[in-house]
Amino acid sequence: MTIPEKEIYPRTGDKQTIYLKNVIHDPNITVGEYTMYNDFVNDPVLFEKNNVLYHYPINRDKLIIGKFCSIACGAKFLFNSANHTFRSLSTYPFPLFFEEWELDKKNVTDSWDNKGDIVIGSDVWIGYEAVVMAGVTIGDGAIIGTRAVVTKDVPPYTIVGGIPAKPIRKRFSEETVQALLDLRWWDWPKERIMQNLQAIQSGCIEKL
């Protein structure tokens, strides 16, 4: 099925910014409504090829991205096959070269440690060339700084940065964070969001 261009490119005349959900084909990648990706270096439509790395079907690991996320140019998601096992006395992936070493083909995944899926909440902003590693969960409303390398889970509404990424500060008070997590405005119908846009943009949760 051909998807109309207006459902891929939400901004007239802008071919660098896409609604990511509408270009995803891999059944192990799920993206929520209105999540956008911008790429001024490569074709953003090639997100699966250029940004989701070492994501091989043999692992059955998943990339799950929520709604209303903003993903900047060059952000990468590194999956489990990028790893080498720590269980072995050697980091060399002998099982990957099963023919050379007369090993059982079905044990090829013993070459790396499987740390699990990558799960991104809703309303998350992932900065320019940030890297998110396998097994990481990023909570709703979090911000990932430019070129950060995220190796551990990020709590909701937390700003992180650096290599490895570490918390910088919370975006809001604990009370406001909990209220936003309870409201889950990103799950509202579009009409309700539109009616409350001024309140959302004002930064004053009391208006919601």
Residues belonging to the active site: 84
Q: Dihedral angle at the C-alpha atoms of 83, 85, 86, 91, nearest 10 degrees? A: -90
Task: Measure Cα distances from 123 to 4, 60, 132 in Å.
Answer: 25, 26, 16
Gyration radius of the chain over CA positions: 19
Nearest to 142 by CA among 157, 161, 127: 157
Bridge-based pairing of strands 63-65 and 118-120 is parallel
* Dist CA 8 CA 12 (whole Å): 11
At 167 the three-state DSSP class reads strand
- Cβ-Cβ contacts under 8 Å for 58 (sequence gap 6 or more): 81, 108, 109
Nearest to 120 by CA among 103, 99, 141: 141
Specify the residue for token string 């993206």: 31
φ, ψ of residue 104 in degrees (nearest 5): -75, 125
